[in-house]
Amino acid sequence: MADPRTGGRAVQQVVFDEATIARRVRELGREVTQAYPDGDLLLIGLLKGSFVFLADLVRAIERPLRVDFLIASSYGTGTTSSGEVRLLYEPSAALAGRHILLVEDIIDSGRTLASLMDRLRSRGPRSLAICALLDKRIAPPLPEVRFTGFVAPPAFLVGYGLDHAEDFRHLPYIADLG
């Protein structure tokens, strides 16, 4: 597919186009708005992959909220999960008593999220849930996954925040790297 953004490198096919993503993110915004009728809501974006999704999602949520980030590293430059999760940054803000919604780009093996749940829960949030744009449904289902954008094919996907070795995050669509 010819796209000047990819520098001539092969990106096989568009799996979710821009309009489809925008429609679903607006719906997710409505779902999140309705799910939290009261209380303090803190969205925690898991960097780097969630940065585009989070930016669109927060603008589709029509209630007060705050934003923070988590940096966990589970992948090197490869395309398979290492199973190791290092925490490089976690929110300095108090989580106690707040609704925490962890925003993730994609759930693959689920190891990244599973390892984060215990750490976040130990900080005493009022509730703890996950909003994932994509879920490959490979992992055993995590009870905290309350909002899912799309069920993803078992391919390696790039774009809309998702990378391969740091490339392709800026594609406005989600494509199969092939």
Candidate residues 49, 149, 159, 161; the one interacting with Mg ion per rule CB under 5 A: 49
d(CA 27, CA 171): 21
d(CA 122, CA 140): 22
Any idea which residues carry the catalytic annotation?
A: 108
Candidate residues 45, 49, 149, 159; the one interacting with ligand IMP per rule CB under 6 A: 49
Rg (CA), the chain: 16
Stretch that binds ligand IMP, among 19-27, 28-36, 60-68, 110-118 (CB under 6 A): 110-118
74 lies in the site for ligand IMP, by CB under 6 A: yes
174 lies in the site for ligand IMP, by CB under 6 A: no
**Alpha-carbon distance values, 158 to 32, 105, 106, 161, 170 (Å):** 25, 10, 10, 7, 9
Tokens 């390892």, located at residue: 115
- CB 157 to ligand IMP: min, Å: 4
Interface with ligand IMP (CB under 6 A): 49, 74-75, 81, 104-112, 156-158, 162
Residues at the interface with Mg ion (CB under 5 A): 49
